[in-house]
Every structure is written in structure tokens, then in C-alpha cells.
Amino acid sequence: MRAVTIASPGSGRKLAFSQVETPLPGPGEVLLRVEAAGVNRADALQIAGYYPPPPGAPPWPGLEVAGVVVATGEPGGDAVPAGPGVGDAVVALLEGGGYAQYAVARSAQTLPVPDGVPLADAAALPEAVCTAWTNLVDTAGLRPGEWVLVHGGSGGVGSIAVQLAQALGAHVVATAGGPDRAARVRGLGADVVVDHRADDVVAAVREATGGRGVDVVLDVLGGGGLADNVRALAPRGRLVVIGLQQGRRGELDLAAVLAKHLTVTGTTLRSRTPAEKAALVAVVRERVWPLLAAGQVRPVVHARVPLERAEDALAMLDRGEVFGKVLLTP
Ligand SMILES: NC(=O)c1ccc[n+]([C@@H]2O[C@H](COP(=O)([O-])OP(=O)(O)OC[C@H]3O[C@@H](n4cnc5c(N)ncnc54)[C@H](OP(=O)(O)O)[C@@H]3O)[C@@H](O)[C@H]2O)c1
């Protein structure tokens, strides 16, 4: 099969479209013919040499795909009893290896393609939905009626987080860069959208919440956003950091943490164990898949790029022009 391989890790992002061995599904795994692969910032980090794949994963990037099962491994491993069979259309959360014509996935990390969602578009879902769900619900404990600030409602994760939080009955303030992107985030259902390039996000949060602040912040900025995020939180607010686009270090005003009884935390998806990922995929299937089938949450696909032009897709992310997700199509 052909895959997008890393020709020279770390040096100017040189990718190749190479002939490689088609992987074989092991116990509890399936082999997918890839219809589309989601492109993530973590892929760019891996290609740059900063984010090595976990042991056993293929060396080529790709954390999520949609495709059709063409072979199944022996039962066992962490297979679920109702795992997919040959011919089934699924999406999968991978340890790596999605930038290819075929990819191996753990059965327990696959989900059926939701009713009403085109197979290729569904590749935009696994990373974003699992990340949004686990951080908003498991980590932040977002409840109906609460306010949440979603930084980057225009992004792959943010575009899903805005819709999901709305569907869960929360009120959403979201940010986006520029008036056009802000208008599109409003179209996803956010109550208030702030153009982070032009407007003061904390002031907008206070205005939207009658001065109280938001209960939850879903943050992709990291260090550079820390002070404002703490200022934006209401008493007993929860800040969940999932991205470090403005650096890994910041100054935390502990007096505000104490006075407002705040929680400051963060998580990653990729580093979780297979059992943790299987449990997350199972709850996403139960809680989010019906929202997708009902059209309350939908994948946001910016563009489809042929697999062999993966560098162009990553460059689109670098330029900040992607709204939602960009997909690679073999
Ligand atoms: N922890 C995890 O498990 C996990 C999982 C998936 C992703 N992530 C991370 O989460 C982040 C988002 O992922 P993604 O896939 O959604 O990436 P993405 O599609 O590239 O989105 C990035 C978002 O950041 C926004 N942004 C950039 N500068 C901003 C600023 N100054 N203020 C507010 N927003 C700003 C962008 O908004 P505009 O372009 O509109 O300005 C865009 O919406 C990345 O850092 C990624 O690595 C973490």
C-alpha cells in the first residue's frame, strides 16, 4: 500500500508518498481501507520530531480515519463483543498510521459511521468528539445551564465543542479570529462569539454572563492565555487546558484560584491507555452518536486533499485558514 512517510524527521517537514507493507490486524483489531484521514496539529509535531508515536504504532502519522473493514484479526485483545465485521463502515481513533491507504485499528476504538453522515466526512469526528466530550464532561463536569468559553470555536476540536456544549444544554461563548470566522462559529450555535483579534475576550465573557464569568473554559492557548482564562472564570470555575498554542508556561494568580475556588487542569488523548480509550469511545457512542444522528452535532469539513498532498493540508493548518477539519483522501 502507499502511505505518507516522514522522509527526514525534524528537517523542514519532508514527506514522501511511499510503498510500505500493508499492516495486518492482530488480536482484537481490524484492517480498514481508508476513505479519509483527519489531519491534526499533533501530526505536524510528530513529523517535526517532537511527538513520537507510541511503541507498536506505524511510524507514519494519522490519528483518525473513516473507512471500511476489509479484514479482522483473531478475537481477543481488547475486542468488544459487538466489534465491527468485514464490510462495515466505521471511524477509528488510532495510535498512528492513518495517512495511508489501509490502517489497523483496535476494534474497541472504532465506532459505526453515524446515520446521515457521509463516510469520508466522518473522519473529522473521532479526535474532535472524544477530545471535546472527555474534557467538557469528564474533566470539567459541564452541566446544563452553565456557561462555557470555547477558545477557537473555529478549529477542529472547537467546532465540535461548541455544538456539543449547546446540545448538552450549556450556554456558549466562543472565540474565532476575524469577522468571517466569527460569523461561521455563530452558525454552529454559539450564544456569543468574540473575534479574539479585535475584541477583549474577558470583557465579552463578563458582559455575556452579567459579570459572573464562565463556569468552564476549554483552552487551546496554554501559557499565553492563562491569566485571562483565570480572570474569565466564575466562582468554582474549571479551566481545562488541551492545547499549548501560546506556550507551555504562564503565571498563575493563585490568589484568584483560592478566592474563586477554581480548578486548573489539562489532559491529552493520545497518551491514554487502550482501556481508557475504549471506555471513552464507548461513552461517546452512547452519548454523542445519537446527537450526530439527530443532526444536533455535525462534522465540519473545510477541505479534502489527496493523500499524496499531505504537505499542502498541513500548510493549510499552519496558515490558520482551516475552519473545522481538513481531511486526506487516498
Ligand atoms: N489534549 C488533547 O487531547 C488534544 C486533542 C486534540 C487537539 N489538541 C490540541 O488542541 C488544539 C486545537 O486543536 P484543533 O485540532 O482544533 O486545531 P485547529 O483546528 O488548528 O484549531 C486551532 C484553533 O486555535 C484558535 N486560535 C489560534 N490563536 C488563537 C487566539 N489567540 N485566541 C483564541 N483562539 C486562537 C484558532 O482560531 P482562529 O483560527 O479562528 O483564530 C483555531 O480555532 C491544538 O493545540 C491541538 O494540538 C489537544
Whether residue 114 is found in the same domain as residue 12: yes
What is the Cα–Cα distance from 9 to 50, expressed in whole angstroms? Answer: 9
Whether residue 136 is found in the same domain as residue 219: yes
In 3D space, the residue among 4, 77, 1, 56 whose CA is nearest the CA of residue 32 turns out to be 1
The stretch 138-159 carries a mean pLDDT of 98
Which residue(s) pair with 176 in the sheet? 195
- Whether the Cβ atoms of residue 265 and residue 244 lie closer than 8 Å to each other: no
For residue 77, name the pLDDT band (cuts at 50, 70, 90).
low
Whether residue 141 is found in the same domain as residue 217: yes
Cα 188 to averaged position of ligand 1 atoms, centre (Å): 16
Predicted TM-score (pTM) of this structure = 0.97
Whether residue 176 is found in the same domain as residue 105: no
Whether residue 247 is found in the same domain as residue 218: yes
Which residue(s) pair with 192 in the sheet? 173
Residue type, 285: R
For residue 50, name the pLDDT band (cuts at 50, 70, 90).
confident
Residue type, 112: P
Domain of residue 189, CATH code: 3.40.50.720
Shortest-distance Cα residue to atom 9 of ligand 1: 243
- 251 burial class (0-12, 13-18, 19+ CB within 10 angstroms)? exposed
Whether residue 134 is found in the same domain as residue 118: no
Cα 271 to averaged position of ligand 1 atoms, centre (Å): 18
Residues with CB under 6 A from ligand 1: 40-42, 127, 131, 151-152, 154-158, 175-177, 181, 196, 220-221, 242-243, 245, 267-269, 317, 320, 322
Per the structure block, which three cell numbers stand in for 22?
500493508
Whether residue 210 is found in the same domain as residue 286: no
Shortest-distance Cα residue to atom 21 of ligand 1: 155
Looking at residue 10, its pLDDT comes to 62
Count Cα atoms within 13 angstroms, Cβ side, for 84. Answer: 28
What is the Cα–Cα distance from 317 to 299, expressed in whole angstroms? Answer: 17
Cα 152 to averaged position of ligand 1 atoms, centre (Å): 6
> Which of 227, 250, 266 is a domain's end point?
266
Whether residue 90 is found in the same domain as residue 208: no
Whether residue 135 is found in the same domain as residue 255: yes
Looking at residue 75, its pLDDT comes to 77
Domain of 223 in residue numbering reads as: 129-266
Whether residue 48 is found in the same domain as residue 145: no
325 Cβ neighbours under 8 A, 6+ residues apart:
38, 39, 123, 124, 128, 156, 159, 299, 300, 301, 302
66 Cβ neighbours under 8 A, 6+ residues apart:
34, 35, 36, 89, 90, 91, 92, 113, 119, 120, 121, 122, 123, 125
Query: Residues 53-66: pLDDT tens digits?
Result: 888 899 999 999 99
> Which of 243, 266, 289 is a domain's end point?
266
Looking at residue 47, its pLDDT comes to 92
The stretch 208-214 carries a mean pLDDT of 98
Domain of residue 290, CATH code: 3.90.180.10
Atom of ligand 1 nearest to the CA of 153: 43
Query: Residues 78-134: pLDDT tens digits?
Result: 555 568 999 999 999 999 999 999 999 999 999 999 999 999 999 999 999 999 999
Q: Which long-range contacts (CB under 8 A, 24 or more apart) does 163-166 make?
A: 163/188, 163/189, 163/296, 163/297, 163/298, 164/129, 164/132, 164/133, 164/136, 164/288, 164/291, 164/297, 165/136, 166/190, 166/296
Residue type, 125: L
To the nearest whole percent, how much of the chain has pLDDT over 70? Answer: 96
Cα 71 to averaged position of ligand 1 atoms, centre (Å): 35
Other Cβ atoms closer than 10 A to 87: 8
How are beta strands 29-38 and 325-329 bridged, if at all? Answer: antiparallel
Query: Residues 177-193: pLDDT tens digits?
Result: 999 999 999 999 999 99
Report CA dihedral (204, 209, 213, 216) to the nearest 10 degrees.
Answer: -100
Whether residue 59 is found in the same domain as residue 105: yes
Shortest-distance Cα residue to atom 5 of ligand 1: 131
Residue appearing with cell numbers 498510521: 97
Whether the predicted pLDDT of 316 surpasses 80: yes
The stretch 259-267 carries a mean pLDDT of 98
The stretch 294-301 carries a mean pLDDT of 98
The residue to mutate among 241, 245, 300, 322, having the most atoms of ligand 1 within 8 angstroms of its beta carbon, is: 245
Round the average pLDDT of the chain to a whole number and report it.
95
Cα 153 to averaged position of ligand 1 atoms, centre (Å): 8
How many domains would you assign to the chain?
2
Whether residue 214 is found in the same domain as residue 288: no
Query: Residues 1-32: pLDDT tens digits?
Result: 999 999 876 666 689 999 999 999 999 999 99
Cα 151 to averaged position of ligand 1 atoms, centre (Å): 7
